[in-house]
Structure 1
Amino acid sequence: MKMDILQRNNVNVVGDGDQTIICAHGFGCEQSMWQYITPAFAEKYRLVLFDYVGAGGSDLQAYHKEKYNTLHGYKQDIIEIMDELNLEKVIFLGHSISSMIGMLVAIERPELFEKMIMIGPSPCYLNKEDFNGGFEESDVRELLEMMEMNFSGWASYMAPVGMGEEAAPQLTEDLEKVFVSTNPKIAREFAEVTFFSDYREQLPQLQTNTLILQCAEDSIVPKHVGDYLHQSIENSQLVVMNAKGHYPHISHTSETAAIIADFIESDLAI
């Protein structure tokens, strides 16, 4: 069973430090997106990298819509990976929607995470009567339709939007290639689960020490969402970065790595 789980999510372990960091990529991505930042931590920490089912080198046969029609299916996969590797009290590093997946893990199994780092997180992407998530439902449905009708067109549209104007063109091209490499049907269903999710009510249940990284400008997550998360999560601190875009761990690796390292090391010393 161990091999099934590790193969299912294409789990790779890098480094042999005493402290473990598990890296959870965002929607439309895969574990290779961490390649820009992991060198800063590989010598000192053990890094656990994986792909969600449907992404990267994961086992596509393991995908079942009824399991993954909420974030709880992805949450369960992380729990199974950690149990198979006998991991507890690790540092969770999650990008975008993975921040909420990690939160669900921490609420269900608080002993698994010593601390959490959320890059560009949002508990709700849609505009509601009492919350500005950044997207109108009609806009999201248009994106989902684009994914169905012209997946490569969707990828070429979303990559520069997400990466931001300041990013090097090569990084935007690389992101687009990763988008295109994902299974179109699974990606479209994951997108629907992501954009229509609302986990605001669960935020106060999170007790894990949490760092929220919010970019100065992010076309996917409005700046005020970081403030909302900070106010809603009791043991949290918010850092508004100089970086712009939704992928600072790719476009602004030095700033991102320095902030993460400071949070990890200062907290571990307490």
Structure 2
Amino acid sequence: MEVRDKHHVHIVGRAGAARSLVFAHGFGTDQRAWDTIWPAFADEFRIVLYDHVGAGRSDPAAFEQHRYLTMDGYARDLNMLLDELALKDVVLVGHSMGATASMLAAIARPEQFARLACIGASARYLDEPGYHGGFSEADLNALYRAVTIGRDAWAEQFAPVAMGNRDRPELAEHFARAIKSVPADAILTVLCSIFQCDYRQTLQRLQRPTLLLQTRADAAVPLEAAEFLHRTIAGSTLRVIDAEGHLPHMSAPERVIEALQDFVRAPG
């Protein structure tokens, strides 16, 4: 099977564009999470949308637990996809786990990336002395237990917390439905690969222009974690946008588009 088929790739936008804009979604969503973002850039860029293995309409048979125990597996997938599409110097927009995987991919194959915009990214989610990642070990153990006992019930609890915007419950309901679509035999592996990661040292090696977008209130990634990432990645820019929740590209797309405009269009 071709890599593009494995990831249910869609290429839209300007077919003959000199530059490509690639979108990498986060946990519990798929490429449709970008539906209110990518059209703003379609007149100028070739747009590449794909589903991570284990999400959306990716090939279910492609999910192998040993490959996706860490974010490195998703990074390798992205590098392989760009190779198959013969794309270099792409502009990458990634959310959460998609952002982490993209940064790792750019470290491994810097020639494939011109610049990266990372929404709600984190190098580590687990707290430890001197570092605030947002979750204690007890928090994560409780999360894993809840998922094991009942994925759907956990999704109903987690979605409103992650989405924020309590005055717009339809957003959390949409996100909960998306989480429930993650295969039951894959979800715990995916969550562990996210929440057990520690890329604080690795991400020091990222050498591409990087924009870090953070909301003013994110239950999954505290501002301190975003500030740590900003200090870690040389030359990065941290921008706090006037939005709340972990998925602003879905809850406040106009603010995300505004924050991306100049960065993705910058030369080089």
Query: Between Structure 1 and Structure 2, how many residues are aligned?
Result: 266
Equivalent residues of 1:87, 1:112 under 8 A apart? yes
Which TM-score applies when normalising by structure 2?
0.96
Q: Against the structure 1 CA distance between its residues 208 and 184, is the aligned structure 2 distance closer, same or farther, given a 3 Å change threshold?
A: same
Deviations 1:131-189 (A, max 9, x none): 11010111111111111111111111111111103562222211111111111221211
1:197 corresponds to: 197
Equivalent residues of 1:25, 1:31 under 8 A apart? yes
1:21 corresponds to: 21
Equivalent residues of 1:167, 1:251 under 8 A apart? no
2:86 corresponds to: 86
Where in structure 2 are there 5+ consecutive unaligned residues?
A: none
2:5 to 7, 11, 14: 7
2 CA distance for matches of 1:231 and 1:191?
Answer: 26
Bigger shift: residues 162-171 or 240-249? 162-171
**RMSD of the TM alignment (CA)?**
1.3
Secondary structure of the 1:243 match is: strand
Return the letter of the residue paired with 1:174.
H
After superposition, where does 1:130-141 map in structure 2 within 5 Å? Answer: 130-141=130-141
Equivalent residues of 1:213, 1:239 under 8 A apart? yes
Equivalent residues of 1:25, 1:94 under 8 A apart? yes
Bigger shift: residues 61-70 or 109-118? 61-70
Return the letter of the residue paired with 1:12.
H
Return the letter of the residue paired with 2:219.
S
1 CA distance for matches of 2:166 and 2:81?
Answer: 36
After superposition, where does 1:1-270 map in structure 2 within 5 Å? Answer: 3-16=1-14, 17-166=17-166, 168-265=168-265, 267-268=266-267
2 CA distance for matches of 1:32 and 1:257?
Answer: 16
Deviations 1:1-29 (A, max 9, x none): xx521111111111123221111111121
2 CA distance for matches of 1:167 and 1:177?
Answer: 18
Q: Against the structure 1 CA distance between its residues 258 and 167, is the aligned structure 2 distance closer, same or farther, given a 3 Å change threshold?
A: farther
Q: 1:235 Cα deviation (Å)?
A: 2.1
Q: 1:43 Cα deviation (Å)?
A: 2.1
**Off by >3 Å, runs of 4+ in structure 1:** none
1 CA distance for matches of 2:187 and 2:66?
Answer: 15
Return the letter of the residue paired with 2:49.
L
Equivalent residues of 1:166, 1:244 under 8 A apart? no
Equivalent residues of 2:120, 2:221 under 8 A apart? yes
Which TM-score applies when normalising by structure 1?
0.95
1 CA distance for matches of 2:126 and 2:144?
Answer: 14
2 CA distance for matches of 1:29 and 1:192?
Answer: 17
2 CA distance for matches of 1:264 and 1:207?
Answer: 16
Where in structure 1 are there 5+ consecutive unaligned residues?
A: none
Secondary structure of the 1:175 match is: helix
Report which of the two has the higher share of helix: 1
Return the letter of the residue paired with 2:161.
V
Secondary structure of the 2:194 match is: helix
Return the letter of the residue paired with 2:113.
F
Bigger shift: residues 135-144 or 166-175? 166-175
Identity over aligned pairs, percent: 37
